[in-house]
Amino acid sequence: MIGASLSTKATMLSHLSRRLFSSITPLVTELSQRDDLRDFIDGGYGWIPSQRGLPYEALLELDSFIFEFRAAYEILKNFLLAFSTLILGKRVGKAELMDVLTSAGVSTDWVDELQKHRNFLIHEHAPWILFRVRQLEPPDFEPVFLAHVDADPEDPAESIDIKTLSRIYAGFDRSLQELQRWAIAEISQLEARAD
């Protein structure tokens, strides 16, 4: 049953990631079409998109992203524990699995990022989104999610940028592939010893 849960959750994450990035696209598009951005920056004003609900849709997708990736991580951990105990006849812990990934050249930084941001969306505040303006011409904006409206966008404990979210997704996906390869290899070794 846990294997089916892991498969379902991994598929959900793929769709969820697309939804998150798609929710940001209309905001970036509208922002890049503004010809008065210099006034907003110089005056320190906040920008309100023409479709006022768009930022909230992006925030909902962020909330889902963090929650579901954290849940997927827990399901993966539980699956591998059950797999190693029931199928391999030995308990394989987190440290051994991290070694499997690092020895295969898979970065495990995404685990630390996910761990660091697991409480990002606490229940004492509501998150917010801002766009870091790198340059106006050509437009280059980086979405940054804040833990609350007054959060420091440069403080990683209070903010998470889109690159970090991308690294979490890519790292989880790559790890899942490598751990599947490892599990199949372990089963093959078990079968070879049985022959």
Q: Structure pTM?
A: 0.85
pLDDT at 173: 93
Q: Which residue range forms the structural domain that includes residue 6?
A: 2-194
Cα separation, 185 vs 195, whole angstroms: 15
pLDDT of residue 54: 95
Where do we find the tokens 């699995």?
Answer: 97
Query: Rounded to an integer, what distance in angstroms lies between the CA atom of residue 191 and that of residue 144?
Result: 49
Of 64, 62, 34, 36, nearest to 129 by C-alpha is 62
Token reading at 53: 């609900």
Number of domains, the chain: 1
Q: What was the pLDDT predicted at 46?
A: 86
pLDDT at 93: 87
pLDDT tens-place values along the chain, 195 residues long: 777 888 898 899 999 999 999 999 999 999 989 889 889 888 988 889 999 999 999 999 998 998 898 889 889 988 998 999 998 898 888 889 999 999 999 999 988 888 877 777 766 788 899 999 888 888 888 999 998 889 999 998 889 999 999 999 999 999 999 999 999 999 998 888 877
pLDDT of residue 7: 87
Q: Give the pLDDT score at 105.
A: 94
Whether 40 and 47 have beta carbons less than 8 Å apart is answered as yes
Residue 94: its pLDDT value, please? 86
What would the pLDDT profile of 92-109 be if each residue is shown by its tens digit? 888 899 999 999 999 999
Q: What is the pLDDT of residue 125?
A: 80
Instruction: Return the pLDDT at 44.
Output: 86
Distances (CA, A) of 138 to 30, 32, 60, 134, 186: 14, 9, 29, 10, 51
pLDDT value for 122? 66
Angle at 109 between CA 89 and CA 166, to 5 degrees: 115
Q: Which pLDDT score is estimated for 85?
A: 92
**Residues 188, 111: Cα–Cα separation, whole Å:** 28
pLDDT at residue 5 in the model: 84
